[in-house]
């Protein structure tokens, strides 16, 4: 089958993705004092080798206070550039584009890993800088009853954080990343500034809708000063929330950000409270895709769709309907790191193994020539013809 949009290249500024499949940033909580380990090399590497067009390294923190757990990646010092560059090098060797997300956990910092109970950490002797690792936020308002009240940032501190994001952008460039994403969603620091529920400041960063947008706008400007004009800039937003922020506000913000050098809005939802608004609806395939559709057409900007996107034909339909420009496959690609190759086979793409390394693409190709590929139509045929599986 020809003309498959999922496997068509996409150029954003000077960067060309080999297909529209994106591995979104997914926390691994496995760093050691902010440094990536072999786990991160394996994790990012398997997705790049699996054929994705863009692999985005998990939310990497712009300052120490912004770490969500003891295992968060860091980029608040030049010492992180070379170790992160090792990830970039391997991703590039698999002919994929390397991205990184910059984040700050705000009032949700200093937490347990999800599989260790989630929620706030209790003091541990092995965390030497416990007192310095104090959760901060736009206002002294806790995320929920089980979370501690964060310390409200002073105006000068907010400006310092803007510069910290800018320097993190510089380090990401020096590490060799091709795409940068700013994390403005899921109840973390940037989102906390956007929501009137969590931001009750009375300075230039609080109050009116525009004032609450100011922090992210200034962060974007600071990052663009250090992030080359030829490299794409993404922003992840919780387009819909139940805390004073919704699609209309997201469109206004996306329109402003587009003028500041943002190319793609990564459209997600929820996070300011423990009750995500999307959970009040039926959870089904594409459940967040309408958010991408809305932002794309009302803000006239490229978008990335997320949310229970499982199958190749499902992703293709989203693109053909014009609901997004990129498809983020998260949990499903954890289940099958070779999802892009599997989707290419099932969609009948010519040369389905061209995006994977020859170390296994060659051998799979020889099997496919004999009619024993992974396409559903060949399974029963092969079984009937041979009486066994090869």
**Catalytic residue numbers?**
188
DSSP state of 19: S
Cα distances (angstroms) measured from residue 371 to each of 94, 302, 361, 363: 27, 39, 15, 13
Cα 383 versus chain centre, distance: 41
In the chain, which ranges are E strands?
10-12, 15-17, 21-23, 54-61, 73-74, 97-103, 136-137, 151-152, 179-184, 233-240, 264-269, 302-305, 326-328
Vertex 18: Cα angle to 15 and 20 (nearest 5): 95
Q: Which residues contact 225 (CB under 8 A, 6 or more apart)?
A: 166, 169
The secondary structure of residue 219, as a DSSP letter, is: H
Contact 78, 34 (CB under 8 A): no
Cα-to-chain-centroid distance, residue 23: 8
Number of other residues whose CB lies within 10 A of the CB of residue 230: 10
Angle at 80 between CA 338 and CA 225, to 5 degrees: 95
Q: What is the CA radius of gyration of the chain?
A: 21
- Residue 288 sits at φ, ψ, to 5 deg, of -105, 0
């Amino acid at each position: 089958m020809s003309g498959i949009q999922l496997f068509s290249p996409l150029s954003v500024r000077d960067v060309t993705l080999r297909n529209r499949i994106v591995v979104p940033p997914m926390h691994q909580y496995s760093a050691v004092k902010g440094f990536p380990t072999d786990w991160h090399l394996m994790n990012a590497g398997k997705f790049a080798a699996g054929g994705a067009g863009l692999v985005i390294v998990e939310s990497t923190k712009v300052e120490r206070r912004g770490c969500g757990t003891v295992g968060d990646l860091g980029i608040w010092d030049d010492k992180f550039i070379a170790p992160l560059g090792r990830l970039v090098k391997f991703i590039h060797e698999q002919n994929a584009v390397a991205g990184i997300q910059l984040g700050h956990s705000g009032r949700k910092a200093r937490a347990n890993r999800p599989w260790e109970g989630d929620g706030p950490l209790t003091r541990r002797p092995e965390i030497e800088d416990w007192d310095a690792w104090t959760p901060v936020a736009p206002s002294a308002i806790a995320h929920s009853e089980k979370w501690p009240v964060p310390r409200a940032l002073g105006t000068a501190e907010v400006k310092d954080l803007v510069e910290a994001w800018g320097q993190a952008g510089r380090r990401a460039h020096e590490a060799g990343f091709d795409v940068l994403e700013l994390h403005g969603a899921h109840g973390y620091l940037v989102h906390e500034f956007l929501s009137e529920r969590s931001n009750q400041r009375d300075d230039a960063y609080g109050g009116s809708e525009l004032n609450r947008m100011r922090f992210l706008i200034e962060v974007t400007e600071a990052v663009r000063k250090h992030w080359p004009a030829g490299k794409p800039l993404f922003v992840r937003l919780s387009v819909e929330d139940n805390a004073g922020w919704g699609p209309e506000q997201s469109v206004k913000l996306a329109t402003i950000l587009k003028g500041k050098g943002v190319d793609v809005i990564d459209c997600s939802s929820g996070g300011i409270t423990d009750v995500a608004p999307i959970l009040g609806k039926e959870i089904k395939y594409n459940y967040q895709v309408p958010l991408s559709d809305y932002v794309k057409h009302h803000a006239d900007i490229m978008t990335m769709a997320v949310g229970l996107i499982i199958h190749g034909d499902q992703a293709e339909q989203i693109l053909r309907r014009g609901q997004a420009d990129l498809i983020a496959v998260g949990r499903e690609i954890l289940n099958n790191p070779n999802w892009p190759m599997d989707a290419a086979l099932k969609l009948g793409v010519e040369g389905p193994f061209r995006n994977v390394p020859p170390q296994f693409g060659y051998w799979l190709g020889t099997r496919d020539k004999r009619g024993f590929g992974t396409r559903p139509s060949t399974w029963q045929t092969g079984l009937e013809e041979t009486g066994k599986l090869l």
